[in-house]
Structure 1
Amino acid sequence: MWQQTYDPLGNLRLSALVAALPILFFLVALTLLKLKGLTAAIATLAISIIVSSVVFHMPLEKIVGAAVFGILSGLWPIGYIVLMAVWLYRLAVKSGKFDVIRGSIAAISDDQRIQVILIAFCFGAFLEGAAGFGVPIAICAALLVELGFKPIKAAMLCLLANAASGAYGAIGIPILIGAQQGGVNLAHLSAMMIAIVQLSTLFVPLLLILVLDGYRGVRETWPVLFLIGVLFSGLQTLTLYFVGPELTDIVAPLGSMGALALFMQFWQPKRIYREEEALPISTQRWSLTEIIKAWSPFYILTGVILLWSLPQFKSLFAADGLLAATVLKLEIPFLHLQVQEMPPIVDAAEGLPAVWNVALISASGTAILIAVILTTLLSSRLSPSEAFKQLKWVIRDLWSPLAMISLILAVAYIANFSGASSSIGLRLARTGKIFPLIAPVIGWFGVFITGSAVNSNILFAHLQSVTASQIGASQALLVAANTSGGVMAKLISPQSIAIAAAAVGQVGRESDIMRTTLPYSFGLLAYVCLWTFILSFLVR
């Protein structure tokens, strides 16, 4: 048994700074040094191993165990989900359906500003709510490229759009976990999420058009921006308040897509905006039957994932469920319950579990695989051999970004098990009454290293709650701040960047995507920090 030490250097500020070195290096490697994502990830892993061993005195076998655990978690479920999502998209293109999809989108509007609101913002939010884990970025970025958007810009727009939906992804799991780990009432946490996030959500569509076409674009499309901003944020707020987080990213995107399609039948911008290199607009129009068939891969995907998310279905895979045997629970040697978290991170010394869960059937990736199989069987232009050929090409294209994701998760797991992540959190928590200004930064950091708002809440929601009690702040507010700050890191987390680069065929240009998105992530984080600080005086 090995116990974590959070201040190995006898100075918590210095210990936290050293703990942050791997993450700081990764940021510098992608933004200033312009290294390829995989190269930066390998170097970051090496630095992480040195820091955890030399500074935090973590035994070597436990470092190796944590790294293996991270790599395995990168492959399953994350790699599995991304691989299946991109495979489904490639089959939709190969089957010839995408010409019809492009035409159906053009029938709503030829204007690419409207298309980015429809695809990146609305459809992306729906996929976030139904699946999460990079699926909306993988599919929507590729869709935008097919519609004529430049690859780097398409990736950036999809990452930026995720700021409006990332908090409620995968049927609201980040909020549910935040309430559980932070020990706060779910309704109170939902109310604090409304107070922090929903104001910024109003302006995300405007921000997308600013990036795409500047102030002129905003002036020319303001009716759409007003309609979608108010409707989307309003529906999210009402769903979150009256129903809960599970359907927040389902109801709002569906309502917004329907309203946008209807509104565009009566209004179009006077100037049609299209990128210089965009394909010419097709004048061909398709029948309703053809459009329904063309979109079939995506509504099949939606139907299967929603089925997978039903409580009755999930109960089949619980410990006492009929299909519990299909969930493999593999304990990581030398790591499982062999590392103890210590106070003040937890109330008493507690062994950390290290179990790799391989859900063969209940994984979201399997739901997408079923959509792949059904799409292949229902398409006259796709044979099983052609589908497998597409899978080989997807694996060839994605091995590098998936390797990068796995290595960065190895860094994250080493930081978590060594106590380095907690060291950073504890140092920030010592800022006293000013802590609410810093609280979202902890969530931002958690998502940056793990790529997941769920994991960030697992790491830091308890710390936020305990610190709130010590300084007399609202526990629900600071857990919400952890989640909200984390969402702003999804724009630039290594997982998101790697998936976006692969989706638009720009593997090796992760640094370009990072540099274009980083200012927006910092800007949105600054908003969350300042607004949380103001709310801390108003909410108790």
Structure 2
Amino acid sequence: MTVEIIRLISTLLPLIWLGYALISRIVRPHIACIISLLITGIASITVWRISADILLWSILDGVIFSLFPIIWTIFTALFTYRLVCETGAIEGIKRSLSGISNNRLIQAFIVAFCFGSLLEGIAGFGTSVIIPSAILLSLGFPPYQSAMISLISNTVPVVYAAVGVPVIALAKATDLPLKALSGTIGLQLFPVTLIIPFLIKREIKENVPFVLILGTGLVFALTQTLVGWFIGPELPAILAPFLTIVFLLIYLRVKGERPDIRREDLKAWSPYALIIILILITRFSANLSNIFSNYPFSISFSMGPLNKTTEIEFLYTPGSLILLSAIIGGIILKAKPSDYKKAFIGTFSQILPTFLVITSMVLISNIMNYAGMTKFLAIKLIDVFGYFYPFVSPFLGAIGTFLGGSDTTSNALFGALQTEAAKSIGVSPVWLASANATGATGGKLISIQNLTLAVSGINKKGEEGKLMRIVFPYFLFYLLIMGVIIFIGARVLG
């Protein structure tokens, strides 16, 4: 057996094991990821001859980044959501949404496309599927229609989930500029974002003007792209659905419909309104930005033989701003100390498997990158697909989401590989790295984790297979469009 074949097997083995373990469910996802990490570590030492100090420092670098900002942001986002639930404010949010219109299509736009996206942008990691599915079911939508609409809606915003965590993970994995990635992702997603409302309309036979469907997609797509380009990855999935709801409210007002929304229900939104305000202030105020991102609110240190510096920004990171919003918002909602305690304990128990999955994925990516495995695999993929690799690149991102359950894990796993492939074929690394993230959004449609949450929301546990068959054509359609967009951007517009 030649050295090259041994290297190929050692590089693919962690990924093959991960795919098999997650699809067959022979072990829990976080256990599968840890075993895959161990296989990667052993292969890097025995086959790729990585030095012990590089291996240890790459592990330390990955653990630090997983904690700050990824896990910290996810933890505070979920804590905020749990606090809103503990105070009962979530019922006020549901009432304010369901009272806007009796039109089924508008209800689907508001609950699944807008509120689901807002949940994705603020909390992510499952809340944006199970809650909209349950709300639509309570409004009288058929069970599988409720789940399918929620899954279709939970595509384009996931790249900006939990205040931009997937894009932050992608920037870390690729060493590419955060804002360049954020803006490019919004640009790539623009066409499919326009199409999503039409896909929802296809499932709901309700007569509404064409301009309403187009306007819903256009407002969302424009806001998401512009915010991603000029502000960054933290707010696109928050401001886009918010402004789309405003557009729908204006449309209803022009048509003479008056939404039935109680004033006290609007107060339930206060923690999320504070998140938007604090992030906007810190991103647009140069003085605050400099203060928050420098010592003593930020520390940096050398990562030894990795020839890089790691920085931890304690206050500037979205997680800290979300926590502050949760505390102040909790006061506005009259949260009791026991509410804070229950929210904290519940979040802590929920976050542990997520921490193990994401940290394992980041470490696998780090080790493969420093060992040379990533570059090797990129070259092999280019040998297979050649000129048409850009068309295939979103599918790789989707596979990452299917395996890991989130855009974040896909970006951590395959972001560096896409960058290496881009360099090898003379395409913009930012364009192909972004393609991984945008392709990963389509993978959410068939992610086992998402399907499980969706069937739980409609009280159809164990029916993931049936739901998979329903949404799979949409998955293929979505990825084919993304493939064409990425190919044209790389080869035609170049």
Identify the TM-score tier after normalising by the shorter chain: 0.7 to 0.9
Match of 2:481 among 488, 510, 527: 527
* Aligned pairs for 1:274-293 within 5 A: 287-288=262-263, 290-293=264-267
1:401 aligns with 2:376: no
Query: How far apart in 2 are the matches of 1:69 and 1:530?
Result: 36
CA positional deviation for 1:483: 0.7
- Residue 539 in structure 1 maps to residue 488 in structure 2: no
**In percent, how many aligned pairs have the same letter?**
20
CA distance in 2, matches of 1:121, 1:202: 12
Larger helix fraction of residues: 2
Q: Scaled by the length of structure 2, what TM-score is found?
A: 0.76
Q: 5 Å matches for 1:154-303? A: 160-166=152-158, 174=167, 194=187, 196-207=188-199, 209=200, 215-217=202-204, 223=210, 225-236=213-224, 252-264=240-252, 287-288=262-263, 290-303=264-277
Query: 1:368-387 maps to which residues of 2 (within 5 A)?
Result: 368-380=322-334, 382-387=335-340
Q: 1:78 to 1:44 in 2, by over 3 A?
A: same
The equivalent residue for 2:312 is 358
Shift of 1:144: 2.4
Alignment CA distance shift 1:539-1:406 (3 Å): closer
1:329 counterpart SS class: strand
- CA deviation vs aligned residue, 1:472-516 (integer Å, no higher than 9, x gap): xxx44x6324313322224558xx98799799989xx99969x94
| Structure 1 gap segments, 5+ residues each | 1-7, 269-283, 340-350, 470-474
Give me the TM-score of the superposition, normalised by structure 1.
0.70
Tell me what 1:43 maps to: 35
Kept in 2: contact 1:405–1:498 (CA 8 A)? no
Residue 92 of structure 2 corresponds to residue 100 of structure 1: yes
Cα drift, residue 370 of structure 1: 0.5
Question: Which residue matches 2:73?
Answer: 81
Shift of residue 139 of structure 1? 4.6
Q: 1:451 aligns with which of 408, 432, 438?
A: 408
Q: Is the 8 A contact 2:22 2:32 kept in 1?
A: yes
Q: Contact 2:270 / 2:332 at 8 angstroms: preserved in 1?
A: no
CA–CA distance in 1 between the matches of 2:126 and 2:244? 21
Displacement of 1:104 in angstroms is 0.9
Instruction: Give the 3-state SS of the residue equivalent to 1:358 in structure 2.
Output: strand
Task: Measure how far apart 1:366 and its partner are.
Answer: 0.8
Task: Select which of 315, 320, 329 maps to 2:300.
Answer: 329
Q: Tell me if structure 2 keeps the 8 A contact 1:82–1:138.
A: no
SS at match of 2:155: helix
Distance in structure 2 (CA, Å) of the matches to 1:156 and 1:354 = 44
1:11 equivalent to 2:1? Answer no
Task: Kindly state the Cα deviation for residue 174 of structure 1 after the two structures are TM-superposed.
Answer: 4.7
Residues 200-235 of structure 1 deviation map (CA, whole Å, 9 limit, x = unaligned): 22222344x38xxxx542666785544322443355
Matched with 1:391 is: 344
The corresponding residue for 1:275 is: none
Pairing 1:435–2:389 present? yes
Equivalent in 416, 426, 429 of residue 379 of structure 2: 426
Contact 1:122 1:253 in 2 (8 A): yes
Is the 2:117–2:128 contact (alpha carbons within 8 Å) kept by the matching residues of 1?
no
1: CA distance between counterparts of 2:134 and 2:225? 33
- In 1, the alpha carbon distance for the partners of 2:32 and 2:145 equals 22
**Contact map agreement 2:411 2:437 (CA 8 A) in 1:** no
1:127–1:390 distance in 2 versus 1, CA, 3 Å: closer
Determine the C-alpha separation between the residues in 2 that align with 1:70 and 1:139.
26
List runs of 5+ in structure 2 lacking aligned partners. Answer: none
Q: CA RMSD in A?
A: 4.7
User: Equivalent residue of 2:247, what SS?
Assistant: helix
Go from structure 1 to structure 2 and tell me whether the alpha carbon gap of 1:77 and 1:120 turns closer, same or farther (over 3 Å shift): farther
